[in-house]
Structure 1
Amino acid sequence: MTCELCNLAVPPIYRDDKLSVIMVDDPAYPGFCRVIWNEHVKEMSDLSPADRMVLNDAVWHVELALREVLKPGKVNVASLGNVVPHLHWHVIPRFADDAHFPNPVWTTAVRTTEEPILAARRALLPKLAADIVRRLGK
């Protein structure tokens, strides 16, 4: 079995013995993060209660970092796993000017965000990565 989340192609911005956090390389969504459980499991219910708390806490901290650094209008948090059945959470900053707003990012785009706006958000990514590491590294 090959699993793209077991064998990350993108270096994580944070990794410990339980989970990893990566920034998704999506030009239209700077700051889009995934919180990935390191062990290959499919569902939250596969985790022990203590591990479930660790994962939920990490998703919460990533959301807080996104809100603090990027200041989005909304943060979408989703765990789908239909395509990649490996437990992970999408944590996505949303803005009224983003390509799909107000629809989910997986639908057809309704606009193109102006490049200077996206560039300004991309410029904040090192600060976002550092804030996530600070929050999770405790």
Structure 2
Amino acid sequence: MECAFCTTDGGDVLWRTRLLRVILANEPGYPGFCRVIWNEHVAEMTDLSEIAREHLMHTVFAVEKAQRAVLVPHKVNIVSLGNIVPHVHWHVIPRYIDDIHFPYSIWSVPQRESNVASMKVRFGQLQELRGTILAELHRLPTWPELLLT
């Protein structure tokens, strides 16, 4: 079976290194939804070295920090499933009390109609979010890539 994250970027690439990439997922109804995707095809976090896992999670947390600063969500969901795409990746999803699935997962049955005014504001914040994510990623420690392989 072909892996979607090996054959495509998986969204709008905000940041890419030899090891991983951060993408805007462009999920309808979820402006600011990002994924952090390990470039090498591995199915589980424990397939990575300890330092690689640490690097990956520092990246996930930098994305969350940027989302919280710009979008001011009620909650941020950080999820790694891989049941459909068994390739290490983390979903970083800003959540709001008025989003259509809240308080349940975004893959649940919708609970309400979309709040058009709120969505317009959130989509308007995406350019600022991009810049803030990049600024947070530039603040990460330098990881000796030779140790990560």
Query: Which TM class, normalised by the smaller chain length?
Result: over 0.9
| Backbone CA RMSD of aligned residues | 1.1
Offset from partner CA, 1:62-100 (integer Å, 9 cap, x none): 000010000001000000000000000000001000000
Q: 1:74 — aligned with what?
A: 75
Q: Secondary structure at the match of 1:77?
A: strand
1: CA distance, partners of 2:71 / 2:113: 19
What TM-score, normalized to structure 1? 0.95
Q: 2:14 — aligned with what?
A: 13
Determine if contact 2:24/2:32 at 8 Å carries over to the other structure: yes
Offset from partner CA, 1:22-74 (integer Å, 9 cap, x none): 11112211111100001110010000111011001000000000100000010
Q: 1:2 — aligned with what?
A: 2
**Which one has the largest radius of gyration?**
2
Q: Secondary structure at the match of 2:29?
A: coil
The Cα of 1:3 is off from its aligned counterpart by 1.4
2: CA distance, partners of 1:106 / 1:37: 22
Q: Secondary structure at the match of 1:58?
A: helix
Q: 1:88 — aligned with what?
A: 89
Equivalent residue runs for 1:41-52 within 5 Å: 41-52=42-53
Determine if contact 2:29/2:119 at 8 Å carries over to the other structure: yes
Of 1-10 and 69-78, the range deviating more from structure 2? 1-10
Letter in 2 for 1:27: P
Q: Provide the identity percentage.
A: 47
2: CA distance, partners of 1:106 / 1:60: 22
2: CA distance, partners of 1:35 / 1:9: 10
What TM-score, normalized to structure 2? 0.88
Q: Secondary structure at the match of 2:13?
A: coil
1: CA distance, partners of 2:127 / 2:44: 31
Determine if contact 2:12/2:26 at 8 Å carries over to the other structure: no
Of 99-108 and 4-13, the range deviating more from structure 2? 4-13
1: CA distance, partners of 2:85 / 2:78: 17
Unpaired segments of 5 or more residues in structure 1? none
Equivalent residue runs for 1:99-110 within 5 Å: 99-110=100-111
Q: Secondary structure at the match of 2:57?
A: helix
